[in-house]
């Protein structure tokens, strides 16, 4: 999806600072995002903020209202994953031409929404691509590797100051493999889905950044943001039990800061930005 188009790449003197936030879960996740992002934008001199939003509507998908809440709280654009189809209002939102959320591009082309978007943020033009993994995932999807190739064949990299790929996947091997496959062609590959922050941040040999999982934004005293008692009931009874997210209390905020040379689209530095806040 192209929001803007350009045939020339603007020469930039300063580095580009992008914060990518892990899966935000329910009300606690949204509250932490809207409280912390305005402060972090100032503290870290952020140019852009992205968020994986597939769990922001009570842990299940998105709604127009929940997306508006995080956008008004300082997020510029959202990616998603397998739970993007969990809420009917969210599915309708994806059909809008001005939706600020993308869904994995390697889902069927007939599915609502789009899998990649370009945006102009200040003086920078950024491409955001969303993919979903095949390993240990329930959905039948096209290869994220060949889908990434098809998208990159449609654009001119020189038009962009940064190109991000959110690979929503279970297997760290798949995330690392895709990052190596795209090394030098994109700015960074960020992993989402597991809600567990990883300590494997690195810049690959050709300049692409990698983190296998950004982590999540949600209740600290939970199981991946969800009610502990209900999760235990599901494990112990081996029956399907609804899993409500914990909506208040100590909340973890996991994210990664990318410092980018916008003239090469490659990474200069990558670091975790993790916080804890009461909501």
Quick one: how far is CA 216 from the chain centroid? 10
Question: Measured between alpha carbons, how far is 127 from 108 in angstroms, rounded to an integer?
Answer: 21
Give, as one character, the DSSP assignment of residue 227: -
What is the DSSP pairing of strand 209-211 with strand 250-261?
unpaired
Of the candidates 9, 12, 58, 83, the residue annotated as catalytic is 83
Residue 218: both structure tokens together: 């949600």
| Contact residues for 109 (Cβ-Cβ < 8 A; gap 6+) | none
Residue 227: both structure tokens together: 């009610």
**C-alpha distances in angstroms, 232 versus 222, 228, 236, 248?**
11, 6, 6, 20
Question: Measured between alpha carbons, how far is 201 from 246 in angstroms, rounded to an integer?
Answer: 29
- Element containing residue 211 per DSSP (H, E): strand 209-211
Q: Is 9 a catalytic site residue?
A: no
For every residue of 207-260, DSSP letters joined together read S-EEES---EEEESSSBTTB-HHHHHHHHHH-S----PBP-SSEEEEEEEEEEE
| Contact residues for 221 (Cβ-Cβ < 8 A; gap 6+) | 228, 246, 249, 250
Give the residue numbers marked as catalytic.
83
């Amino acid at each position: 999806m192209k929001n803007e188009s350009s045939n020339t790449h603007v020469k930039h003197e300063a580095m580009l600072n992008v914060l990518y936030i892990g899966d935000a879960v329910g009300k606690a996740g949204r509250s932490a995002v809207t409280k912390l992002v305005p402060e972090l934008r100032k503290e870290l001199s952020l140019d852009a903020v992205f968020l994986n939003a597939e769990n922001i509507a009570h842990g299940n998908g998105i709604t127009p209202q929940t997306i508006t809440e995080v956008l008004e709280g300082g997020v510029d654009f959202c990616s998603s994953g397998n739970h993007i189809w969990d809420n009917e209002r969210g599915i309708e939102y994806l059909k809008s031409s001005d939706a600020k959320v993308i869904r994995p591009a390697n889902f069927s082309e007939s599915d609502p929404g789009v899998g990649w978007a370009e945006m102009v943020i200040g003086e920078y033009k950024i491409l955001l691509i969303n993919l979903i993994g095949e390993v240990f995932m329930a959905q039948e999807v096209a290869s994220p590797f060949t889908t990434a190739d098809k998208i990159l064949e449609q654009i001119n990299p020189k038009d962009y100051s940064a190109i991000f790929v959110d690979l929503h996947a279970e297997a760290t091997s798949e995330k690392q493999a895709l990052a190596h496959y795209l090394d030098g062609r994109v700015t960074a590959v960020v992993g989402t889905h597991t809600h567990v922050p990883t300590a494997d941040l690195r810049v690959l040999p050709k300049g692409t950044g990698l983190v296998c999982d950004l982590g999540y934004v949600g209740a600290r005293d939970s199981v991946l943001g969800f009610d502990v008692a209900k999760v235990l009931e599901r494990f112990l009874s081996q029956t399907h039990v609804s899993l409500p997210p914990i909506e208040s209390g100590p909340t973890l905020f996991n994210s990664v800061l990318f410092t980018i040379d916008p003239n090469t689209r490659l990474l200069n530095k990558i670091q975790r930005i993790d916080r804890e806040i009461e909501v």
